[in-house]
């Protein structure tokens, strides 16, 4: 009926209108702005940590305990040895408990519990625990193991508080990765006539392992940086201490007590300790990334 | 069924593992009784690639019904799969072919809320008998799935060996058994030089033959194939079909397929299913050329499905 469309008509039909072009530019600018704004505090944190922290790093900084002589010259205040070792020890114990336990729970949820009411209940409480503020875990251990038993702070109590903190993170992350293992692998192994436990340990867990390592390391990194659960469970101390039943120093608590000190050199030590902690966590995150890169799951 | 069981094992097994393998499968309820000609067979030269001495098992479905929750997907099927024959199951999507096949090695019950009723007879043994160990059933009845599913963490060698390791039979000549299984699946020549490479690195058709090798390694009497070629190109499909024709010398094969030409090419008998019911079963040629049921005729001539 109508005349066939000319080339210009066709072009007009497919052209981007000026209004849409403007909206696109605006929206792009807004999103880029948001990214830049979000990056500013991150970069500032790293900048200040390096600027203030790096200058206090030295061999003696890592190899001496804090002395507590905070009103004398800077060289006498000591380093962060007890805090560094304490953090490693407390977190190691917490991981030794929470990782096998958490992975066990995740395996049960995925392979056995599935959608039963009990499994759903467990999932619900794990989700709730993930959102609980860390100080609540510290408070719980404080009430039960310190007030409840009438005893004092101890390294293992700090570990237990961190265990509670890590457990839901480990369970959730491991469960997510286990769910990613294709059902076809499970079926293939079961159809070969393999007992279920062998299917789990020789097929499912190895397939999910890189992802589980990532989740575990992120949980470890989170626990290593927590102050609140340790403040009134492991306490603070000066001496390096390998006895888990006594007061044990840790990096976050050391930072907390140093930063509240009126002595500038002690405050300076807090920066050095903070940088140490951030580097530790950064390394853990890098390992976690490397592990997830090796993952064979989508 | 038990009369031939030990003799066939003796024929193609390393004598060193004979006592363990001659019927004492862990938890197996399939009885094995020795026969007099066992010694005679074992004195013959061992030919590793030949599986001819072995016999497949006959499988009979008796009033098999399968459910997902309250939905009945397989509605009472009586069907016999003859030993050392290839039986193809054809039918439109959703007619219960796969569900029925998965009931044979009790994989159906792995799905939450799924259950089966009726009997699946492996020779004289009801695999749904409460005293039967499901693990033993699955060792006797292997399965190949629609999508090739080699274990991604394992090498080609380990994928095949997994069949043996997972079923606690790592003793004996593992390497020899892996080679035998790979030869059985027609994959040996292609992978012999790179057994340590990941199984997931093979092509789709090779992966599927690797999966067949993996199930052969466990030395089953029956192999169920659930659309084994649906993810493969025509050349890979042809290889699998040739393999199926070789394998039926030693095992009973049940193959679910959407491809009627494939059924016509590989199957001795063909069963047509519709809406959870068995419409017709018979020699493949008869089902395709002179079907007795009009619905079968409509399906095989392409009027629906």
What is the per-residue pLDDT across B170-208, written as a single tens digit (0 to 9) for each? 677 888 889 989 988 889 999 999 999 999 899 999 999
Assess contact for B41 and B10: CB atoms under 8 A: yes
Size of interface A-B (CB pairs under 8 A): 76
Same domain, A32 and A112: no
What is the per-residue pLDDT across B52-103, written as a single tens digit (0 to 9) for each? 457 899 999 999 999 999 999 999 999 999 999 999 999 999 899 999 999 9
Q: Which residue of A has its CA nearest to B102?
A: A191
Query: B135 to chain A nearest CA, in Å?
Result: 5
Query: Of A114, A192, A199, which is closest to B112 when you measure between CB atoms?
Result: A114
Residue A298: predicted pLDDT: 45
CATH code for the domain of A135: 1.10.3720.10
DSSP state of A202: I
| Domain range enclosing A230 | 74-293
Residue A297: predicted pLDDT: 61
Same domain, A160 and A49: no
Distances from the Cα of B157 to the Cα of A201, A206, B180, angstroms: 19, 17, 12
Residue A33 CA to residue A35 CA, distance in Å, equals 5
Place of tokens 């160990």: B133
Number of domains in chain A: 2
Inter-chain residue contact A191 with B215, CB threshold 8 Å: yes
Inter-chain residue contact B167 with A191, CB threshold 8 Å: no
Same domain, A245 and A219: yes
Same domain, A136 and A28: no
Domains of chain B are 59-150+178-300 (3.40.50.300)
Give A197: exposed, middle or buried? Use CB within 10 Å, 0-12, 13-18, 19+.
Answer: exposed
CA-nearest of B140, B167, B124 to B3 is B124
Same domain, A134 and A43: no
pTM tops 0.90, yes or no = no
Q: Is residue A215 part of a domain?
A: yes
Residue A296 CA to residue B10 CA, distance in Å, equals 41
Inter-chain residue contact A188 with B149, CB threshold 8 Å: yes
Provide the edge-to-edge strand list for the sheet that holds B269-274.
B141-144, B222-226, B252-256, B86-90, B269-274, B277-283
CA-nearest of B114, B123, B149, B128 to B55 is B123
Same domain, A33 and A171: no
Q: Is residue A115 part of a domain?
A: yes
What average pLDDT is seen over chain A?
Answer: 89
What is the per-residue pLDDT across B231-240, written as a single tens digit (0 to 9) for each? 888 888 998 9
DSSP state of A5: P
Residue A265: predicted pLDDT: 83
Residue B113: other Cβ atoms inside 10 A: 11
3-state secondary structure of A116: coil
Q: Is residue A63 part of a domain?
A: no
Average pLDDT over residues A123-145: 93
What is the per-residue pLDDT across B27-41, written as a single tens digit (0 to 9) for each? 444 444 433 343 333
Residue B24 reports pLDDT greater than 60: no
Same domain, A42 and A158: no
Instruction: Evaluate the CA torsion angle A278, A282, A35, A131 in order and state its sign.
Output: negative
Provide the edge-to-edge strand list for the sheet that holds B71-81.
B71-81, B59-68, B114-122, B125-126
DSSP state of A110: I
Q: Is residue A195 part of a domain?
A: yes
Q: Is residue A2 part of a domain?
A: no
Q: Which residue of B has its CA nearest to A116?
A: B112
Residue A246: predicted pLDDT: 86
DSSP state of A70: T
What is the per-residue pLDDT across A179-197, written as a single tens digit (0 to 9) for each? 999 988 999 999 998 899 9
Same domain, A39 and A85: no
Inter-chain residue contact B162 with A192, CB threshold 8 Å: yes
Q: What is the ipTM for the molecules in this complex? A: 0.76
Q: Is residue A45 part of a domain?
A: yes
Residue B20 reports pLDDT greater than 80: no
Hey, what are A238's tokens?
A: 């000066």
Residue A70: predicted pLDDT: 61
Query: B90 to chain A nearest CA, in Å?
Result: 22
Q: Is residue A1 part of a domain?
A: no
Hey, what are A94's tokens?
A: 């917490």
Report chain A residues whose CB lies below 8 A from the CB of B110.
186-187, 190
CA-nearest of B134, B147, B142 to B214 is B142
Average pLDDT over residues B207-220: 91
Q: What are the two backbone dihedrals, phi and then psi, of residue B116, each rounded to the nearest 5 degrees?
A: -130, 150
Residue B11: predicted pLDDT: 37
Same domain, A41 and A175: no
Angle between helices B204-217 and B174-184 (to 10 degrees): 130
Same domain, A45 and A189: no
What is the per-residue pLDDT across A49-92, written as a single tens digit (0 to 9) for each? 999 888 888 888 888 888 776 666 666 778 888 999 999 999 99
Residue B5 reports pLDDT greater than 50: no
Residue B125: predicted pLDDT: 93
Task: Please state the three-class secondary structure of chain B as a single string.
Answer: CCCCHHHHHHHHCCHHHHHHHCCCCCCCCCCCCCCCCHHHHHCCCCCCCCCCCCCCCCEEEEEEEEEECCEEEEEEEEEEECCCCEEEEECCCCCCHHHHHHHHCCCHHHCCCEEEEEEEEECCEECCCCCCCHHHHHHHEEEECCCCCCCCCCEHHHHHHHHHHHCCCCCCCHHHHHHHHHHHCCCHHHHHHHCCCEHHHCCHHHHHHHHHHHHHHCCCCEEEEECCCCCCCHHHHHHHHHHHHHHCCCCEEEEECCCHHHHHHHCCEEEEEECCEEEEEEEHHHHHHCCCCHHHHHHHCCCCC
Same domain, A98 and A244: yes
Same domain, A22 and A103: no
Residue B13 reports pLDDT greater than 50: no
H or E segment and range at residue A21: helix A18-48
H or E segment and range at residue A279: helix A264-293
What is the per-residue pLDDT across A28-41, written as a single tens digit (0 to 9) for each? 999 999 999 999 99
A9-13, A27-31, A44-48: range with lowest mean pLDDT: A9-13
Interface membership of B251 toward A (CB under 8 Å): no
Q: Which residue of B has its CA nearest to A187?
A: B107
Assess contact for B51 and B34: CB atoms under 8 A: no
Q: Is residue A69 part of a domain?
A: no
């Amino acid at each position: 009926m109508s005349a066939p469309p000319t080339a210009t008509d066709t072009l007009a039909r497919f052209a981007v209108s000026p209004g849409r072009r403007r909206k696109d530019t605006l929206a792009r600018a807004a999103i880029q702005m948001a990214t830049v704004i979000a990056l500013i505090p991150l970069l500032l944190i790293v900048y200040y940590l390096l600027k203030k922290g790096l200058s206090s790093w030295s061999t003696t900084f890592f190899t001496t305990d804090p002395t507590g002589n905070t009103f004398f010259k800077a060289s006498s205040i000591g380093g962060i040895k007890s805090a560094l070792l304490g953090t490693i020890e407390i977190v190691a114990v917490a991981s030794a408990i929470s990782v096998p336990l958490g992975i066990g729970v995740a395996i049960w949820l995925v392979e056995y519990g599935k959608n039963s009411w009990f499994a759903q209940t467990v999932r619900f409480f794990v989700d709730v625990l993930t959102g609980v503020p860390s100080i609540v875990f510290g408070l719980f251990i404080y009430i039960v193991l310190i007030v409840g038993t009438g005893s004092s702070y101890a390294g293992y109590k700090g570990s237990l508080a961190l265990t509670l903190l890590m457990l839901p993170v480990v369970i959730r992350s491991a469960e997510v990765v286990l769910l990613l293992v294709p059902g076809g692998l499970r079926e293939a192994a079961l159809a070969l006539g393999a007992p279920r436990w062998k299917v789990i340990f020789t097929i499912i867990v190895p397939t999910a392992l890189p992802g589980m390592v990532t989740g575990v390391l992120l949980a470890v990194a989170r626990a290593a940086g927590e102050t609140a659960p340790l403040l009134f469970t492991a306490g603070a101390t000066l001496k390096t201490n390998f006895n888990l039943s006594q007061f044990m120093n840790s990096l976050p608590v050391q930072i907390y007590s140093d930063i509240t000190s009126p002595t500038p050199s002690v405050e300076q030590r807090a920066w050095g300790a903070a940088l140490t902690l951030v580097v530790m966590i950064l390394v853990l995150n890098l390992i976690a990334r490397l592990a997830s890169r090796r993952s064979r799951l989508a | 069924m038990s009369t031939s069981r030990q003799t066939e094992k003796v024929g193609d097994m390393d004598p060193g593992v004979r006592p363990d393998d001659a019927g004492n499968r862990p938890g197996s309820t399939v009885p094995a009784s020795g026969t007099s000609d066992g010694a005679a067979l074992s004195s013959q030269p061992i030919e590793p690639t030949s599986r001819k001495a072995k016999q497949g098992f006959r499988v009979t479905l008796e009033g098999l019904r399968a459910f997902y929750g309250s939905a009945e997907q397989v509605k009472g099927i009586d069907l016999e799969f003859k030993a050392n024959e290839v039986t193809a199951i054809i039918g439109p999507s959703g007619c219960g072919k796969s569900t029925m096949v998965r009931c044979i090695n009790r994989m159906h019950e792995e799905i939450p809320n799924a259950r089966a009723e009726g009997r699946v007879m492996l020779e004289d043994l009801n695999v749904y008998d409460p005293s039967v160990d499901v693990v033993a059933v699955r060792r006797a009845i292997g399965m190949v799935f629609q999508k090739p599913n080699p274990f991604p963490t394992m090498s080609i060698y380990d994928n095949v060996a997994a069949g043996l390791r997972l079923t606690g039979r790592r003793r004996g000549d593992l390497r020899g058994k892996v080679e035998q299984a790979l030869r059985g699946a027609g994959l040996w020549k292609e992978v012999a030089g790179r057994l340590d490479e990941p199984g997931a690195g093979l092509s789709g058709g090779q992966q599927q033959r690797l999966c067949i090798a993996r199930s052969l390694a466990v030395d089953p009497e029956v192999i169920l194939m659930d659309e084994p070629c649906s993810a493969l190109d025509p050349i890979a499909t042809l290889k699998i079909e040739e393999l199926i024709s070789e394998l039926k010398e030693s095992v009973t094969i049940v193959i679910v397929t959407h491809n009627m030409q494939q059924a016509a090419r590989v199957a001795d008998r063909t069963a047509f299913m519709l809406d959870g019911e068995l419409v017709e079963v018979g020699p493949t040629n008869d089902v395709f050329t002179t079907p007795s049921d009009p619905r079968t005729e409509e399906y095989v001539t392409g009027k629906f499905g």
